[in-house]
Amino acid sequence: MIHPDTELRYVNDLIGYGVVATRHIPRGTITWVRDNLDQTFSPDHVLRMSEHCKQVLEKYGYADRRGDTILCWDHARFMNHSCEASCLSPGYDFELAVRDLAPGDELTDDYGTLNLESSFLCACARPNCRGEIGPADSSRHADRWDGLLREAFPSIRQVAQPLWPVVSEKDKDAVLLGIADVTRMRSCRFHHLSNGQVNPAVCDEGLRIDMESNGKGHSHDAATRRSAG
């Protein structure tokens, strides 16, 4: 579920639609939570789909750590990629604003976090644009993403959180541990595709063992996930 102070807005001919803030959204705000209305498709299910449905999933879905494809039920599926993303996901089923968003600012993800199976050329036009976004990015940039998340994480308790009731009870307990001691914040590596295995990158709260975990495993291509509408 996407933050209530957002709306779908046309960005430009190249990008299509995007998700923008309609009010000030401060850093540390939970901007999206995976909830039970989001649809989850196993790799086998995707294989049995028509080409039309596969293309919709390729455009608007993303791969989770189990290799399932997730299709968000609301306008969260239109969130675009940016190499300077305003929202990132620590190792819980939600995303966090990693900087303040003013009304009209776009909520963006880094698709490098989304278990890409192939690369795509980026059109985000940010000064630090990486040019090409691909499967290796998840490992290559995880420390930087975790750094941004650790700066935002303690603010979770200090800003309005309209989506807090949607966060799972299991995640709430783990988040409170992370707020008390930010070194226990679960790494973004938690979301790395693990081919159905328990991801050894995070085998306990806050414990992180570096590993190479590039997205492989099923036919989903999230390169254009939630992109032009």
Smallest separation (angstroms) from Zn ion to the CB of 16: 16
HEC profile of 75-124: HHHHCEECCCCCEECCCCCEEEECCCECCCCEEEECHHHCCCCCCEECCC
Name the one range near Zn ion by CB under 5 A: 58-66, 87-95, 123-131, 138-146: 123-131
Smallest separation (angstroms) from Zn ion to the CB of 149: 19
Site string for Zn ion, 69-108 (x = CB under 5 A): --------------x-------------------------
Residue 224 makes contact with Zn ion by CB under 5 A = no
Residue 116 makes contact with Zn ion by CB under 5 A = no
Q: Are 214 and 136 in contact (CB under 8 A)?
A: yes
Name the one range near Zn ion by CB under 5 A: 64-72, 95-103, 114-122, 139-147: 114-122
Smallest separation (angstroms) from Zn ion to the CB of 225: 15
Name the one range near Zn ion by CB under 5 A: 91-99, 105-113, 128-136, 189-197: 128-136
Smallest separation (angstroms) from Zn ion to the CB of 11: 14
* CB-count exposure of residue 82 (10 Å: 0-12, 13-18, 19+): buried
Residue 122 makes contact with Zn ion by CB under 5 A = yes
Query: What DSSP designation does 40 have?
Result: E
User: Residue 15: which of 111, 62, 75, 80 has the closest Cα?
Assistant: 80
Read off φ and ψ for residue 96, nearest 5 degrees.
-130, 140
Residue 159 makes contact with Zn ion by CB under 5 A = no
Q: Which of 71, 124, 201, 202 binds Zn ion (CB under 5 A)?
A: 124
Q: In terms of CB distance, is 129 or 166 closer to Zn ion?
A: 129
User: Residue 184: which of 176, 194, 196, 193 has the closest Cα?
Assistant: 176
Residue 61 structure tokens: 């879905």
CA distance 178 to 105: 28
Residue 129 makes contact with Zn ion by CB under 5 A = yes
Name the one range near Zn ion by CB under 5 A: 6-14, 22-30, 125-133, 200-208: 125-133
CA distance 10 to 23: 17
Name the one range near Zn ion by CB under 5 A: 35-43, 118-126, 161-169, 190-198: 118-126
Residues that bind Zn ion (CB under 5 A): 83, 122, 124, 129
